[in-house]
Amino acid sequence: MNDRTATEAKVFGAVDIESWPTGRLLSTAARLVESAWYESLESLGVSHTGLVALHHLDEGSMSQTELARQARVNNQTLSRALEQLEIDGYIVRVPSPRDARRRVVTRTPAGSAIWKKAQHLEANMFPPAPETKELRRALLEIIAASPARRW
C-alpha cells in the first residue's frame, strides 16, 4: 500500500474509492475542500460571500447591485455579507452620488489586509505544483462545458 492509498484508507475506511465514478469523486473532493476552506475563512472571521465581495472590490468601488452581479449572488445574500464586512471595518457603503437609493461599496485598508491573508490561506491549502495547475485547468474546462452553469 503506497502513502496515497494509506491516506485514502484512513479517510474512507475500507471503501474502495478507486471504483467511484468521476462525478462522485469530484463532488466528494469539492465537499472536503469546501469544508476545509470554510474552517480557514472562519479563522479569519470572514464568510465565503464576504471574501468574494472583497475579491471583486480589488478592482475598486462599485455599486452593491454591480457587486452582486459580479459575485454571482443575489442582492439579499450579498447585503447580509456586506453588513458583516461593514461592522468588521472591511468595507464602507455610502450613497451613490448619482442615485441616493443606491449604495457604493469600497474596500477599506483592513479589508485589503484580510483579503491578502485569505490569499495565503488558499496558497497553504493548494501549494503551487504542476499538478495543481493541471487540476485548475481541468476544473475550468468542466465548468465551461457544463450546461448547468448559471453565468
Does 35 fall in a domain? yes
54: domain range?
22-145
Does 82 fall in a domain? yes
User: How many domains, in total, are found in the chain?
Assistant: 1
Does 150 fall in a domain? no
State CA 120 to chain mean position distance. 13
Does 91 fall in a domain? yes
For the chain, what is the total number of helices (H) and then of strands (E)?
A: 7, 3
**84 membership: H or E segment, kind and range:** helix 75-87
Q: How does pLDDT run along the chain (151 residues), one tens digit per residue?
A: 445 545 554 555 667 888 889 889 889 888 988 898 888 888 888 999 999 999 999 989 999 999 999 998 998 999 999 999 999 999 999 998 888 888 899 999 999 999 998 888 877 777 777 777 888 888 888 888 877 655 5
Does 14 fall in a domain? no
81: domain CATH number? Answer: 1.10.10.10
Q: What is the pTM of this model?
A: 0.70
What is the pLDDT at residue 3?
55
To which residue does cell 472591511 refer? 90
Does 7 fall in a domain? no
